[in-house]
A and B are shown apart, each in its own frame.
Chain A
């Protein structure tokens, strides 16, 4: 199948190095300590953060750090073919773990000993790149909850199809069987916190694809920072003095 037309356009009309439109909103779950909605094109996820709060299971309590937990779920209606997936299937367990490890890296857990932070992410619409969208939403929600972090984590995926590096794959491109690289970075510290790749790539092409993904992450970071700053300013001026 042709994923990049001779004119250099992808199936959904984007250029190879073009991202889908991103949109974010803070404070979508009223009851949570922090929450955010993040959209990348047709992918739409909601994240809610509760905590730091008392550890629910005493045996898991850590004396020097906060316990970070993450739960990833996909709404039944999020995909085209409606499927009832059992809670805790392998895919969502794996993604939960990935998100937890990525976020744990950026949270200053040592400042909140003997407490627990819960991150819940739910996919409302899945169109490829749910992992990235979830991480971006979780970052926003954590920042909204006022949890101290080293840096924000942003994530973006990139792939390699028809011998062209493609940024931010959608579902059709994702399921084409080509390589899919999901990258999470901390833009200020310039560090990588997540790197996943399925299938193989030669080292040269990998570097190109990775570079593309880094650019994508940085673009997401700029947008997230803008949203956060706007939100902080609003809260401040609304409260007044």
Chain B
């Protein structure tokens, strides 16, 4: 079985097998034979026009798949949606990435796409929140914003002549700190309205990047100091100057309580389990999994969440959950 290298005992093997069989039976819809593999011919009706989409090609008048995946039909369009593949960006996607290079006026960001993305200095808000032209000084100070290996969150702006461009024009985007970045296959993350989640119960932030990079970190208040008038701004600055020495409050802010750290690890491990099992990753499922680990008679310790028993439990839970939603 893919990616699962666990030492299951006999009962666990049987239970996992049964849960997976249940999942299989639940998904058996009339179009379940839509999965194709490379070089499978796709049955089409040639008479009523045909548009060949991604993942298809024509060989001797036959439409043939070029990737493994699921055949999708939209009116005349026939395409194959590949499952395991690198991320394909769409405009407006929220993504998490890692800065790999600071170049003139731009950062290069690794986002699990076939090329590196570009975040221009001009397409992000400056920390002072003022709208103005970017000067040479700003360019020199780029490393104070993002450095190499920083994890950042941004939005896909679109394709320009020199590649994929990102933008970060709001306070919710930007550098991420005090947390973990996880990598999951991008097909497990669905595009939704909401990709930023604040789990108040645990005091953590969860960002499900469309590119399969997931951020779990301590909750930070989004302060939109874009519209601060000049006077109060200068006041603040003078106030800041007074507090050069770290006050106890600020010290506390730079410290993450252990409870929050544990919650971050617990959530991160829940996501790891889900991605290894190949289940869809949404906030609801993640939260269910975290709660499952807490609510058990003996709370599952964080490090044991990656053990065989918890995998089996998650698989059983998922099977139960899907059968419930199906009945509704």
| A interface with B by C-beta (< 8 Å) | 26-27, 30, 33-34, 51-54, 108, 112, 114-115, 143-152, 186-189, 225, 228-229, 231-241
Contacts and interface: CB of A to CB of B under 8 A. Distances in A.
A31 to B, nearest CB: 9
20 contacts: A30-B3, A52-B86, A108-B57, A115-B115, A144-B84, A146-B67, A146-B84, A147-B85, A150-B39, A188-B39, A188-B64, A228-B37, A228-B68, A229-B37, A231-B68, A232-B69, A232-B70, A234-B2, A235-B83, A239-B187
Interface stretch (B173-181, B234-242, B273-281, B290-298): B273-281
Contacts of B116: 54
B35 A148 contact: no
A32 B217 CA distance: 26
A240 B84 contact: no
Interface centre among A30, A151, A235 (most CB of B within 10 A): A235
Given A26-B2, A27-B2, A235-B278, A143 B68 contact: yes
List the 5 shortest-distance A-B pairs measured between CB atoms, nearest first: A146-B85, A27-B2, A52-B114, A238-B278, A148-B66
A119 B24 CA distance: 32
> What's the dominant secondary structure at chain A's contact region?
mixed
B158 interface: no
Contact of B68 (A27, A54, A146, A189): A146
Interface string B133-162: 000000000000000000000000000000
Given A145-B85, A232-B68, A238-B277, 6 more contacts: A33-B84, A146-B69, A232-B70, A237-B32, A240-B322, A241-B27
A22 to B, nearest CB: 17
A238 B37 CA distance: 17
A128 B136 CA distance: 63
B82 interface: yes
B196 to A, nearest CB: 23
B188 interface: yes
Nearest to A115: B114
B37 A232 contact: yes
A26 B187 CA distance: 17
Contacts of A148: 55, 66-67
A236 B114 contact: no
A52 B82 CA distance: 14
B38 interface: yes
Contacts of A240: 23, 26-27, 279-280, 322
Contacts of A237: 23-24, 26-28, 32
A205 to B, nearest CB: 31
A233 B67 CA distance: 13
Interface string B17-47: 0001001101110001001111100000000
A146 B87 CA distance: 11
Interface in B86-131: 86, 114-116
B191 to A, nearest CB: 14
A232 B83 contact: yes
Contacts of A149: 38-39, 66-67
Interface in B249-281: 277-280
A145 B277 contact: no
Contacts of B322: 240
A232 B84 CA distance: 9
A239 B38 contact: no
A174 B240 CA distance: 78
Nearest to A112: B114
Nearest to B187: A239
Given A27-B3, A239-B279, A54 B84 contact: no
Nearest to A238: B278
B59 interface: yes
A217 to B, nearest CB: 14
A93 to B, nearest CB: 27
Given A26-B2, A228-B37, A234 B278 contact: yes
A233 B40 CA distance: 14
A143 to B, nearest CB: 5
